[in-house]
Amino acid sequence: MQKVLVVVGPTGVGKTSLSIELAKKYNAEIISGDAYQCYKELTIGSAKILPEEMQGIPHYLVDNISYKEEYNVKIFQQKARAYIEDIVSRGKLPMIVGGTGLYIKSLLYDYVFHDEEIDQKYNDYLETLTNEELYAKLLEVDEKAAKDLHPNNRKRVRRALMMDHMGHQKSETLAKQEHKLLYDAYIVGLTMERPHLYERIDKRVLQMISQGLENEVMGLVNKADDFDLQSLQGIGYKEWKAYYLGEKDKEDTIALIQKNTRNFAKRQYTWFRNQMDIHWYDIERKDFKQELLVEIENWIKDE
């Protein structure tokens, strides 16, 4: 199987800087496994790697579509697999870097996506329900699928309800897949003490504010409904809607971004630990990098 190096972990843990170091050492090119860094206009809030930070390492699925265009896990899977083939054809090592767990798992494992079927009348009915009502309904018809989704992830909850309505439950569809790795993947997971990570997250949000996050967000919206765009559902963007409507002040908005980012990091840890076979490294350990490099080299040599 084709070797693919993967670097995952929660937001703010230091994936970007390590990935550049590894790419330079192992002649790798990087595919972003992030759901928001693909949007050209979303730079500060997505913590997107900047051209000068890439140090000449090619990056794919970064800065490649408009924030008004559709992007989802199926599109990511198709594009990322094509990039892997291209990178390999040029004698390079493909590296996936990011924190969007479902995207990365869909790429590495035998995930098969069905064309979306929609009953417009049922879809219109779902539109009338609140997030709480949608989630409660999904708990009734597909409890297993519901437990894998956040109650406020309206789009995915509705999609799971539509799948059930059309006769193929999301949980059953996933269960039929073998969950086999399609690549010889070495998955590096970065971790650190939670209080230290949360402190880094809070500081990074403040840095984003000083870099002009408010102006970046407000430059993308002309009306409140623009916040419903899929691209603006990411943390660091969606929290500004209440501020835009005059319902929250700037300080409360910043505190909410910090809180949501910390909670997201916690969920990322839980997801990664339960969904994939990951080699975890504590970046606060002095010898972590030495251990990491030895294990990667052993993996590369192992045919």
Per-residue pLDDT of the chain (303 residues; tens, 9 = 90+): 899 999 999 999 999 999 999 999 999 999 999 999 999 999 999 999 999 999 999 999 999 999 999 898 889 999 999 999 999 999 999 999 998 999 999 999 987 766 566 888 998 999 999 999 999 999 999 998 888 888 888 888 998 898 888 887 777 766 666 678 999 999 999 999 999 999 999 999 999 999 999 999 999 999 999 999 999 999 999 999 999 999 999 999 999 999 999 999 999 999 999 889 999 999 999 999 999 999 999 999 986
User: Which residue bears the tokens 């403040």?
Assistant: 206
Q: What is the pLDDT of residue 176?
A: 63
Tell whether 16 is in a known binding site: yes
Residues near 129 by beta carbon (within 8 Å), at least 6 away in sequence: 137
Q: What is the pLDDT of residue 174?
A: 65
4 touches 108 (CB < 8 A): yes
Give the number of residues written for the chain: 303
DSSP structural state of residue 50: P
pTM: 0.82
| Helix, strand counts (H, E) of the chain | 13, 6
Which whole-number Å values give the CA distances from 198 to 10, 15, 46, 50, 267, in the listed order? 10, 15, 17, 23, 13
Q: What is the pLDDT of residue 236?
A: 96
Tell whether 12 is in a known binding site: yes
Which whole-number Å values give the CA distances from 88 to 25, 29, 85, 111, 181, in the listed order? 16, 10, 5, 21, 17
Tell whether 14 is in a known binding site: yes
Could you give all domains of the chain from N- to C-terminal order, each with its CATH number? 3-112+178-301 (3.40.50.300), 120-176 (1.10.20)
Cβ-in-10-Å burial (0-12, 13-18, 19+) of 90 comes to exposed
Q: What whole-number distance in Å separates Cα of residue 38 and Cα of residue 66?
A: 8
Give the neighbor-by-neighbor strand order of the sheet with 279-282: 59-60, 28-32, 93-97, 3-8, 184-191, 279-282
The H or E element containing residue 283 is none
Tell whether 15 is in a known binding site: yes
Angle at 9 between CA 23 and CA 96, to 5 degrees: 35
Q: What whole-number distance in Å separates Cα of residue 206 and Cα of residue 203?
A: 5
200 touches 177 (CB < 8 A): no
Angle at 135 between CA 163 and CA 110, to 5 degrees: 45
Tell whether 246 is in a known binding site: no
How big is the chain by its Cα radius of gyration, in Å?
20
Hey, which bits of 153-196 come out as E strands? 184-191
Tell whether 45 is in a known binding site: no
